[in-house]
Structure 1
């Protein structure tokens, strides 16, 4: 039972606490406030990489408040469209647009609906469309218009469908490589973005229809077409970049077939030293010569089939592959091949796309760790001299690509060593990679990084907060009230504990067998 005195004490404490809260509430209403930044929301961007063999979609995200003028971009997810590249749908109305639907639906689901209208959407087409634009410019325009009209139907901010030049493809790949390696900026442990002060890394890209080499150089670039200047994170970069159209994996294989047909003088059957012994194949002549990389001067029947028999001979394969390059003429102080100027190779490089897959296959099939030109030659020789059955037993899951690895490996050997000039000192500085962390290596991330400079940074959200000066002029009054309130709470708590202990003691005495506990 609560006594009259206890009731009066509770009433006094309650009234005092209410008074304290009221006074503090008034103070909080009248003191000055200042705006404090809330963490920004993420911006999203979509890049469709319309390559020669297939289309890949990459979703990127970055904070709305950009660092040093460029968004801090990371890969959110990716999607690989079924079917061939958009150039393969030339003359097939609706095919290119339809091929993008599944990936675009994925983007609709993954990007928050509130950000759809603010999400830029880009489609960049590479060497496959460059070739189509050369051979059939009208059909190239129709394909671009078709995919553009399709992408406009989605609630994103469509920015256009364009064909990238080879130099742009190389430069954006270089941007990607160095961004993933944190060679521009990195987040320091003190919570600031810092410049690591490291040298940049060159980029080696090997696609289906072209190959690119790009690296920063302080040497004079004698051909200004190879010179690009970029500005990222407040710094300027001068890079050399060169794209070789028709030197991509798929086009090289077709050019090699055309060369063998020419040297053997047959449109019906050939022996192929780069195909493994025990393997036979056939291909329509229209597939061999239906590209600007393989213009046939003499008439041929497109529907006729070429029969191919593999012989698996490394030396003969290497000799034929070398004939795809021209090393004889150079009007500059130094050339790589095909009369193209190139500065001396310096620094580290990342090789990706088909470079990675070829390097990975060679190491798996031969067990040779490839760290020098000699290792590359040895591994290629072993693979090229394998029978088809031996190759099948060594490496699983390659399907129709298996027969091509000898030719592609020989091409990579000639390109890197004889073409670009990697030797025993520089070759070990090549890193063959597919991904860096969770991000795919390619030109699309660099494209998004560069284009994010064109996106306005959103105004950050603001909330009200007490200014630091408010705690200066209000501190005496608040301190006195707080001090008084704390003492009242302590006194109230002590009284409550005392009453509780008395009540507990009486109950314990009644239940205990030891009566001395009640004293």
Structure 2
């Protein structure tokens, strides 16, 4: 009988390859970083006229100590600013509900509990805090309780100082312009070393100017230092409370009422000719910004008739009188005895600056890119009748009466107050958004706060080096091939054996 053919080399090879493979598995490994995913943050911008919710996200491993933040979502709350809900129990918190509900949807559920949420109130609440600290605290408590009812990591509701509001707006502008950091063509984040851009912000109750200067800042209250992406910045920043658009209009009206002897009917040179309105006195004198114009005694419910005359020159006189350009105790001042160094570099103007500039361009056809064009556009607006303005901007009907006063105010503020001239004015860019992000203080706030947020711990896994993996794969391929050959040979031997036995 024929003997079965043995192949001792095959099992020996299998044994050797198996031992080598096991030894490879014991090769020292190195740590490989898993993709960090994203962290999220929510900022509620509680302004004087309305509240906006912004959702930001950034890589969990961060960049140079500051998160590379992008805007993930935005929601505009209906109704007025939270300061307008004084005396309405729970209304301030309720006004945030729709936007908070949207945030629950927009942020992944597994991230809810680690998503910080901040509420920053600006000039509207600063004014309320001056007139009634108790009501101000009550409003902040109400909105805080509402936010805490959601599954986020509530970090507090605070009233930002004017200095903080200005500085964070500056951070937003320069971040969006990639002056701090940008993604290079080499596939990594780079510091472009670009000059920074100044920020001009016009809100409802205050206006801010912020820029880097090499001059000495003679008033330390206007000096702020920030550290972002490994760089330190020294800023000049000042916020003028009561110089926001809404409060300015109220101050201007109060000044005119006082100048004309508190009569029951007044002539308003900044209103379009032929346009009139009736309002109650408490709507004028219910703000700390109009306190100095308030009569010693008056009936808050008394009516006042305001008749427009559309006179640019007289309007300019009244607007100039709400500024003070005298009595500077520093080497130089902007206005109201506030120190300001000489403006340098380029600026971005946003918020109400953008909307007013856009309106002037639309209604006059001018580019408004120089002081002379700003003056010409302002004159044209102030000399238009209400019906003519309505033809050009029918969607702006509720606001048309105020555009002359607002644009004259911006002209005085920017040219006489801040000191922009024929050359420097051309370096102002008026913007609402940059990329997909809204320009304002909220993004800068999130960027700065991300320095304080702990970076998420990056998960590590054990892994072989590429060389070890290659060797292991090669040996396993050889092992598999050897096993297949061994099985084939055994099958062939078995077949031969069967043939041999059948022959016998």
Provide TM-score, normalisation by structure 2. Answer: 0.90
- The answer on whether the counterparts of 1:56 and 1:81 sit within 8 Å (CA) in structure 2 is yes
- Residue number in structure 1 paired with 2:182: 186
Deviations 1:373-395 (A, max 9, x none): 10100000011100001101112
Aligned equivalent of 1:257: 253
Change (3 A) 1:33 1:313: same
Determine if the alignment matches structure 1 residue 379 to structure 2 residue 393.
no
Change (3 A) 1:191 1:300: same
Deviations for 1:120-144, whole angstroms, at most 9, x for unmatched residues? 0100000000000001111111111
Number of equivalent positions = 475
Change (3 A) 1:26 1:293: same
Name segments (4+ residues, structure 1) moved above 3 Å.
18-32, 477-489
Contact 1:285 1:306 in 2 (8 A): yes
- Aligned equivalents of 2:140, 2:417: Cα separation in 1: 34
TM-score of the superposition, structure 1-length normalised? 0.87
User: 2: CA distance between counterparts of 1:205 and 1:25?
Assistant: 67
Deviation at 1:28, TM superposition (A): 5.8
> 1:52 pairs with 48, 51, 73, which one?
48
Unaligned runs of 5+ in 1: 1-14, 490-519
In 1: Cα distance, 2:172 partner to 2:473 partner: 55
Aligned to 1:338: 336
- Provide Cα deviations, 1:446-491, integer angstroms capped at 9, x if missing partner: 11111111111111122332124526xx84x8657757978999xx
- In 1: Cα distance, 2:323 partner to 2:211 partner: 22
- Structure 1 pair 188/316, CA: closer, same or farther in 2 (3 Å)? same
CA distance in 2, matches of 1:21, 1:410: 88
RMSD: 2.5
Q: Which residue of 1 aligns with 2:487?
A: none
- What is the CA deviation profile of residues 400-432 of structure 1, one whole-angstrom value per residue up to 9, with x for unaligned ones? 111111110000000000000000110000000
Q: Say if 1:20 and 1:485, in contact at 8 Å, map to a contact too.
A: no
Q: Counterpart of 1:129 in 2: which secondary structure?
A: helix
Q: Which of these residues, 406, 425, 445, is aligned with residue 427 of structure 1?
A: 425
- Structure 1 residues 19 and 180 mapped into 2: Cα distance closer, same or farther (>3 Å)? farther
Contact 1:24 1:478 in 2 (8 A): no
- The residue that corresponds to 2:77 in the other structure is 81
Contact 1:32/1:470 (<8 A) preserved: no
Find the partner of 1:320 among 318, 321, 334: 318
C-alpha separation in 2, matches of 1:222 and 1:238? 13
Return the match for 1:443 from 435, 441, 444: 441
Instruction: Structure 2: state its 5+ residue gaps.
Output: 1-10, 485-504
Q: How many angstroms apart in 2 are the aligned matches of 1:479 and 1:468?
A: 12
Matched with 2:490 is: none
314-323 vs 372-381, which moves further:
314-323
**Partner residue in 2 for 1:41:** 37
